[in-house]
Amino acid sequence: MKIDQSFRKEFPWKGQSLRVGFVLPEAKKKISASIAHMSRETIRHRFFGIKNGFTDRELKYLTEVDGYNHFALGIEEAQGEERGVAIARLVRDDLHPEEAEIAILIIDEYQKSGLGTFLMKFCLLAAAERGITTLRFTYLPENTAIVKLIKRLGNPVKNSLNSDYTQMKIKLERENLEMYFNELKDFFA
């Protein structure tokens, strides 16, 4: 299995057709447009503040990635408007290269349908391929959704950074990775 720049696959989801794949530089427009489909709360939970759009510099950072130390997987609609609906980004820690920070966002309309968990399983497999053994999540303390999602994926170790942010780490476990691979193996055929 290789989850790299060429990875792109359509799949049915709740009566819709979606596509999962590696985020490439041509995603800039789609990422820019997706902000219109995010509530203030979703934006605050992901970006820790108010955001009305992305600068060219931010879009460059978000899409022009090396695919190894920094990579992102996204989900888009495969029909109709072809909106970007989800993105998860992993950035390797310079000091601890076996560890990466992960950030995820699902646009509001698609939240609570299991898509976050689904996308995260691809991320865990892609992280393992790149020698990453620990994932780190940084989030606002009131963000119960991300905590539930993290707990679905492993046994997290919590670390309150300060009163504004909380951090959790999960170790990638071989058994879970094998389970995710089996669940998703049709995507790698």
* Structural contact between residues 47 and 35, judged by C-beta atoms closer than 8 angstroms: no
Closest contact distance (angstroms) between CB of 84 and ligand COA is: 12
Number of helices (H), then strands (E), in the chain: 6, 8
Chain centroid to CA 116: how far? Answer: 7
Residue 79 Ramachandran class (φ > 0 left, ψ -120 to 50 alpha, else beta): beta
Of the candidates 156, 140, 86, which has an alpha carbon nearest to the alpha carbon of residue 116?
Answer: 86
Closest contact distance (angstroms) between CB of 184 and ligand COA is: 15
Closest contact distance (angstroms) between CB of 149 and ligand COA is: 4
Does 89 sit near ligand COA (CB under 6 A)?
Answer: no
Does 160 sit near ligand COA (CB under 6 A)?
Answer: no
Q: In this complex, which beta carbon is closest to ligand COA, that of residue 133 or of residue 143? A: 143
3-class SS of residue 103: strand
Site string for ligand COA, 138-157 (x = CB under 6 A): -x---xxxx-xx--x-----
Residue matched to tokens 């000091």: 95
- Residues with Cβ < 8 Å from 133, sequence gap 6 or more? 98, 99, 171, 172
Does 105 sit near ligand COA (CB under 6 A)?
Answer: yes
Chain centroid to CA 188: how far? Answer: 18
Binding segment for ligand COA (CB under 6 A), chosen from 1-9, 18-26, 60-68, 106-114, is 106-114
Binding residue for ligand COA, selected from 73, 90, 104, 127, defined by CB under 6 A: 104
Total residues contacting ligand COA by CB under 6 A comes to: 23
In the region spanning residues 9 to 28, those forming contacts with ligand COA, defined by CB under 6 A, are none
Does 172 sit near ligand COA (CB under 6 A)?
Answer: no
Residue ranges binding ligand COA (CB under 6 A): 42, 45-46, 103-106, 111-117, 137, 139, 143-146, 148-149, 152
